[in-house]
């Protein structure tokens, strides 16, 4: 298993400074903690700094590496169009983040009968894979201690 990232390294602080307003607004819309979106965004595209995340036209694509053949997230950002003018590395990052949030929120709701935190763990596992989901959930638990 990979070593969990240092919460406060320089690159991660820069990523949060750029994207926090988007994470917060999208998290509020989908009743998700903003740092859950940060975790997925960091892991899937290094907060949009990895150009490989944007090279594909099929399969997992974009900031949150959403497989558009499985998920329709066209309307996930409805009501949040104002986010397009905020700083971001790619013009559609806000749309990708809302799409990822929509997928995660649907999974969390599906597993809500499991209690408080297990739905988030299962949503992360469903978003990618069991191993990656468990890793991301460990980061989520670590951030929850810091950010609440």
d(CA 70, CA 44): 17
* Mean of pLDDT over the chain: 93
Please determine, for residue 3, whether its predicted confidence score (pLDDT) is greater than 60. no
Neighbours of 21 (CB within 10 A): 15
Q: What distance in Å separates the CA atoms of residue 39 and residue 136, rounded to the nearest whole number?
A: 7
- Return the structure tokens found at 57: 């036209």
pTM of the model: 0.93
Q: How long, in residues, is the chain?
A: 148
How many angstroms separate the CA atoms of 97 and 66, rounded?
A: 10
pLDDT of residue 56: 82
CB 3 within 8 A of CB 75: no
Say what the pLDDT of residue 58 is.
83
Model pLDDT for residues 37-65, shown as the tens digit of each residue: 999 999 999 999 999 999 988 889 999 99
Q: Report the range of poorest mean pLDDT among 73-77, 98-102, 107-111, 112-116.
A: 112-116
- Higher pLDDT, residue 29 or 12: 29
Domain boundaries, the chain: 30-147
């Amino acid at each position: 298993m990979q070593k969990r990232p240092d919460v406060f390294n320089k690159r991660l602080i820069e990523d949060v400074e750029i994207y926090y307003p988007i994470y917060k607004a999208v998290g509020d819309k989908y009743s998700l903690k903003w740092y859950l979106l940060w975790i997925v965004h960091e892991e899937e595209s290094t907060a949009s700094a990895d150009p490989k995340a944007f090279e594909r036209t099929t399969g997992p694509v974009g900031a949150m590496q959403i497989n558009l053949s499985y998920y329709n997230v066209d309307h996930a950002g409805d009501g949040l169009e104002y986010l397009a003018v905020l700083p971001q590395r790619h013009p559609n990052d806000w749309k990708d983040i809302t799409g990822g949030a929509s997928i995660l929120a649907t999974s969390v709701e599906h597993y809500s009968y499991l209690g408080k935190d297990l739905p988030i763990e299962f949503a992360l596992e469903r978003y990618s894979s069991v191993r990656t989901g468990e890793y991301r959930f460990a980061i989520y638990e670590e951030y929850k201690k810091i950010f609440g």
